[in-house]
Structure 1
Amino acid sequence: MLSVNEAENIIFNLVKPLNNQTDIETVNLLTATGRVLASPVTSQIDFPHWDNSAMDGYAVVYQDVREANEEKPAVLKLVEDIPAGYQPQSNIQSGQAARIFTGAVMPKGADTVVMQENTRREDDKVFILKAPESQEFVRHRAAYYQAGTELLSAGIQLNAPEIAVLAAAQCTKLNVFRRPSVAILSTGDELITPEQTLQPGQIVDSNQYALAALVKQCGGEPLILGIIKDDREAIKKAIEEAIAKADIVLSSGGVSVGDYDYVEKILESLGGEIKVRAVAMKPGKPLTVATFNIPNAPIYFGLPGNPVSALVSYWRFVQPVIKKCSSIVEGWQPKFIKAQTRNNLNSNGKRETYIWGKLNLVDGVYQFSAAAGSKSSGNLINLAQTNAFAVLEVGKKSVSTGEEVKVLQV
């Protein structure tokens, strides 16, 4: 049985990111949210597009106002009003000023903006009551970005800030990586769909729905293959289909040591090389990871059937794999922080233990609250609203309320 760190190193090193030549799509800006750039983006627009004012006030020649004060204000003649969106018509000469508003284009000749609060206006004259700094409140053309240089680099995920930048830069067609395809199947004679009538001894298959939702959330494309009964040929056929279609395969159930746990033997019969058989973690000990020595073969994850075990294994190992496969350059790794626990946390110390709950930032300090009720791997109910897991490493049997604990954010 591998330690969690050993399993992580093996699994993450198996990942081959998508190819930036063959695995790309062109999308428009409105459908680009969450996608990963496959090539750098440049724009032909400077930011700012032109010299403009950062303040409501008056555009002036600095030399005219450099010694102005309330006792001896500089008096300038107003020659133009310049609202945002207007092209200035005047060339500001010494002794002149233009009324200007935030975002408006600076007129030629002016090099500084005096904020409105430091002025007094009388008819066509403005009195400057306080000397500004040279070039104060002027945003210069190309100060933020110069046209033709790299605006956004390949390998970043496009979220709201990046979408805003691309819209402003008029970059509306983007080369992005396709979404990694993730085949999902559940095994077990006891499983039924949520639409079926529950009979004694049966269990509703929640894993397939949860895994599909999680795959979508991290940028993958779920391929739902349904429930497969505990029949060798049926499972083999489903796995063959999944291997042929997907970049990553997730099955749940059938990976323990029971009489009907066929997955590992079927994988080997299909030429699969088992890289991980079990991990010293709780919940989530049964975990099968396999690869195939054929072109474009997926990574296969045989997850535990217990709902919490399946999801813990997903968050700890599979989610980073999907993100890395999608060709995100940074931020695909699991995210751990230190937090103060609001509960006593306990473990037998034999395996790395994951206790689910909620992480909140309170007065600048991260606090972890364990979910109420049973911590059984079959108790799916109190997993609702989970956004983190406290991690008790091997040999660590308890963490007392108020102490610091390692937390996995999900």
Structure 2
Amino acid sequence: MLSVSDAERLIFDAVRPLHPERNTEVVNLLDATGRILAASVSSKLDFPHWDNSAMDGYAVRFDDVKACSDSEPTILDVIEEIPAGTPPQKTLQPGQTARILTGSMMPEGADTVVMQENTRREGDSVAVLVPPEKPGQFVRRCGSFYQAGNPLIEGGVRLQAADIAVLAAAQATKVRVFRKPRVAILSTGSELVSPEDHLQPGQIVDSNQYALASFLAALGMEPLRVGIVEDNPETLKYSIAEALNWGDVVVSTGGVSVGDYDYIDRILEQLGGDLLVRSVAIKPGKPLTFAQFPKQRALYFGLPGNPVSALVSCWRFVKPALLKLAGLHRGWEPVFVNAKTRVELRSGGGRETYLWGQLLATETGLEFEIPGGSFSSGNLINLMQTNGCARLPVGTKRVEIGETVSVLWVDTPVSHLG
């Protein structure tokens, strides 16, 4: 049985990101949200595109107004007004100014903006009452944010709203992104039935297909629901072989423990899989299988059938592996944060233990609490709204109320404490 750190290393080292040339596609910018950029993007435009005003006020020559005061204001002739989106028509000469609005292009001859609160308008002239602190005050210089030709956004990042805004401003209406990794999902177990079926005594509703499909879609993957596969070696072997031929990754639940009907590890070896992980010293989620298939260039995760254990395994191992595979350069690793626990946390101490619950943002920092009711891996109900899992290392049996605990950040944003 491997330690969590050893299992993590073996899994993450085996993951190779999608090839940036063979596994990309070009999409419209409005379809790129959440996608991972495959190549750096540059722009032919400077940002700002031209010198412009950061304030509503007056474009001036610094030398004209540097010595003014409230008692001895500088009087300037207003020669034009420059609305946003309209280029200036005149060049400022000594003693002249132009009315300018935020974002408007600076006129030739002007090097500074005086905010309107520091002026007094008098017909076709304006009195400047407060001198600017330095030349160039309230002027955004052309190219001061970004210079044309340089990388604007590096490849390997997940595109978010702010990134889309920058690309739109750069007139990059199409971008090259990594294709979505294909992930096949199958549930093993003759006792399983679909949520649409009538439940008979002794049967179990297969919630794992739905949980994993949702989990994968939220990560930006392309899930394929293979469905329920009965505990029959030949049927399982056929279904897994088909899934390996289709998917970059196959994720199954059930059949990886040591029971009479747990066939997964044996089948993976028969299909040519290199089994790197068979079990991990983690709770929940001890029976975890990970294999790589060089021929199909595919990876396989065999998760426990217990829905709680399956999701904890996904958060701890599958999520970072898939994000690395998808081409994310940074930020694919598991994220742990420190939080004060609101409740006493307990563990047997023999395995690295993960207790699911909620991270809460308070005025004094992050806090963590576990749900009420029966707290066990068999209780799927209290897994709802989980956004963090407290990690208790091997040998730690108790964390007292108010003590700091390391928490695996499962989801964002952090809940806000009202």
State TM-score, norm by structure 1: 0.99
2:48 is matched with 48
Contact 1:244 1:297 in 2 (8 A): no
1:143 is matched with 144
Instruction: Kindly provide the amino acid, as one letter, of the partner of residue 312 in structure 2.
Output: V
Query: CA offsets per residue over residues 85-143 of structure 1, 9 Å max, x none?
Result: 11111111100011110000111111100001100111111000010021100001111
Contact 1:303 1:313 in 2 (8 A): yes
Query: CA offsets per residue over residues 170-200 of structure 1, 9 Å max, x none?
Result: 0011111101111100000111111111111
- The aligned runs of 1:291-370 (5 Å cut-off) are 291-294=292-295, 296-370=296-370
1:251 is matched with 252
2:371 is matched with 371
Q: What secondary structure is seen at the aligned counterpart in 2 of 1:374?
A: coil
Contact 1:255 1:264 in 2 (8 A): yes
Structure 1 Cα separation of the partners of residues 374 and 6 of structure 2: 29
Instruction: Kindly provide the amino acid, as one letter, of the partner of residue 98 in structure 2.
Output: A
Structure 1 Cα separation of the partners of residues 213 and 261 of structure 2: 25
Structure 2 Cα separation of the partners of residues 50 and 128 of structure 1: 25
Contiguous gaps of at least 5 residues in structure 1:
none
2:208 is matched with 207
Between stretches 61-70 and 361-370, larger displacement belongs to 361-370
Instruction: Kindly provide the amino acid, as one letter, of the partner of residue 47 in structure 2.
Output: F
Distance 1:375 1:97, change over 3 A: same
Instruction: Kindly provide the amino acid, as one letter, of the partner of residue 26 in structure 1.
Output: V
2:180 is matched with 179
Instruction: Kindly provide the amino acid, as one letter, of the partner of residue 86 in structure 1.
Output: T
Query: CA offsets per residue over residues 8-59 of structure 1, 9 Å max, x none?
Result: 0111000010001110101010100111111110111111011100000000
- The aligned runs of 1:6-405 (5 Å cut-off) are 6-132=6-132, 133-294=134-295, 296-405=296-405
Q: What secondary structure is seen at the aligned counterpart in 1 of 2:318?
A: helix
Q: What secondary structure is seen at the aligned counterpart in 2 of 1:408?
A: strand
| Shift, 1:293, TM fit | 3.2
Structure 1 Cα separation of the partners of residues 62 and 270 of structure 2: 82
Between stretches 370-379 and 236-245, larger displacement belongs to 370-379
Structure 1 Cα separation of the partners of residues 249 and 371 of structure 2: 31
Structure 2 Cα separation of the partners of residues 220 and 392 of structure 1: 30
Structure 1 Cα separation of the partners of residues 148 and 235 of structure 2: 58
Contact 1:32 1:158 in 2 (8 A): yes
Instruction: Kindly provide the amino acid, as one letter, of the partner of residue 335 in structure 2.
Output: K
Amino-acid identity (%): 58
Structure 1 Cα separation of the partners of residues 183 and 36 of structure 2: 17
Structure 2 Cα separation of the partners of residues 148 and 183 of structure 1: 41
Q: What secondary structure is seen at the aligned counterpart in 1 of 2:266?
A: helix
Instruction: State the aligned residue count.
Output: 409
Structure 2 Cα separation of the partners of residues 164 and 200 of structure 1: 55
| Shift, 1:7, TM fit | 0.4
Structure 2 Cα separation of the partners of residues 208 and 375 of structure 1: 23
Q: What secondary structure is seen at the aligned counterpart in 1 of 2:236?
A: helix
| Runs of 4+ residues over 2 Å off in structure 1 | none
| Shift, 1:364, TM fit | 4.1
Structure 2 Cα separation of the partners of residues 386 and 84 of structure 1: 48
2:414 is matched with none
RMSD, aligned CA? 0.8
Structure 2 Cα separation of the partners of residues 293 and 327 of structure 1: 19
Q: What secondary structure is seen at the aligned counterpart in 2 of 1:236?
A: helix
Structure 1 Cα separation of the partners of residues 61 and 273 of structure 2: 76
